[in-house]
């Protein structure tokens, strides 16, 4: 049945892509995804958020499939509430990377996502959380960030913008860790070799769908590897130019139901 489908797998980022304000999915996007699933396509969420920060969204969607979380570090089975795969980041390596970056541009502010289904996001001194609806725990010292296993580090700089911070971090520690920009005020360090493409490829293999049968939707540079792996990459109108440059198509913004516009054309 799926051989006649335009794409057997629909991979969607969440923030700035599928989600509208308030972590909601529009009725039109919800209906378009339901139509695609009825035709035989599979939908998979691929997000930079770790599992604890995304489960409420999946629950609201009635989502029971696999989800790639933590920027590709986690594959989560929403139906069973289980992590099928998870990669932790070496905390010593994270400290070394931060030290090298600070030697180049001065103090940076850091936070971490801890590893696990019920893990916390720890916020170090100076770090500003721009998504106040997501639960966090503020710690008094940077050393407290390393108190338990983590899957990524989030960075901010008091003066440099996201693009410049990403550029500098890549030039300094790009051979040690994966550096990506996941959203506004969200520059991240991950274990080497971990990105949305690696996580999506692992999940898609479990579903029996190749990259050649996948369409991907995103809005930020962290979606570039996912677009490279997929047959067709669709950037939102609100997308970062780095992603637009490699997209096969640009749709409307997340607030204007951009995913639905494409899916209605393909599966309507």
pLDDT tens digits, one per residue of 66-95:
999 999 999 999 999 999 999 999 999 999
Regions of the chain with pLDDT less than 70: 1-3
pLDDT recorded at residue 131: 79
How deeply is 193 buried, as exposed, middle or buried, from its count of CB atoms within 10 A (0-12, 13-18, 19+)?
Answer: exposed
- How many H helices and E strands in the chain? 8, 14
Q: How many CA atoms within 13 Å lie on the side-chain side of 44?
A: 36
pLDDT recorded at residue 61: 86
CA nearest neighbour of 215 among 85, 24, 36, 27: 36
Strand 150-156 relative to strand 109-114, pairing? antiparallel
CB-based contacts of 79-83 (< 8 A; 24+ apart in sequence): 81/117, 82/117, 83/51, 83/116, 83/117
pTM confidence score: 0.95
pLDDT recorded at residue 3: 52
């Amino acid at each position: 049945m799926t051989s006649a489908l335009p794409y057997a797998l629909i991979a969607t980022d969440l923030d700035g892509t599928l989600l509208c304000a308030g972590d909601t999915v529009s009725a039109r996007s919800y209906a378009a995804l339901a139509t695609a699933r009825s035709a035989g396509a599979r939908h998979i969420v691929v997000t930079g958020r770790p599992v604890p920060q995304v489960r409420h969204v999946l629950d609201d969607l009635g989502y029971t499939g696999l989800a790639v979380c933590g920027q590709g570090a986690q594959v989560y089975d929403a139906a069973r509430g289980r992590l099928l795969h998870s990669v932790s980041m070496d905390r010593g390596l994270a400290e070394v990377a931060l030290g090298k970056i600070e030697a180049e541009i001065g103090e940076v502010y850091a936070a971490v996502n801890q590893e696990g289904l019920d893990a916390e996001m720890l916020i170090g001194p100076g770090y500003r959380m721009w998504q106040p609806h997501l639960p966090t725990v503020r710690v008094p010292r940077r050393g407290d960030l390393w108190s338990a296993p983590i899957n990524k580090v989030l960075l901010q700089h008091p003066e440099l913008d996201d693009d410049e911070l990403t550029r500098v971090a890549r030039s300094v520690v790009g051979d040690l860790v994966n550096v990506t920009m996941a959203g506004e005020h969200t520059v991240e360090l991950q274990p080497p070799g971990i990105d949305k493409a690696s996580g999506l490829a692992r999940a898609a293999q479990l579903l029996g769908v190749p990259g050649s049968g996948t369409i991907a939707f995103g809005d930020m540079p962290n979606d570039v590897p996912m677009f490279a792996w997929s047959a067709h990459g669709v950037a939102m109108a609100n997308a970062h130019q780095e992603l637009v440059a490699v997209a096969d198509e640009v749709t409307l913004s997340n607030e204007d139901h951009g995913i639905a516009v494409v899916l209605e054309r393909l599966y309507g």
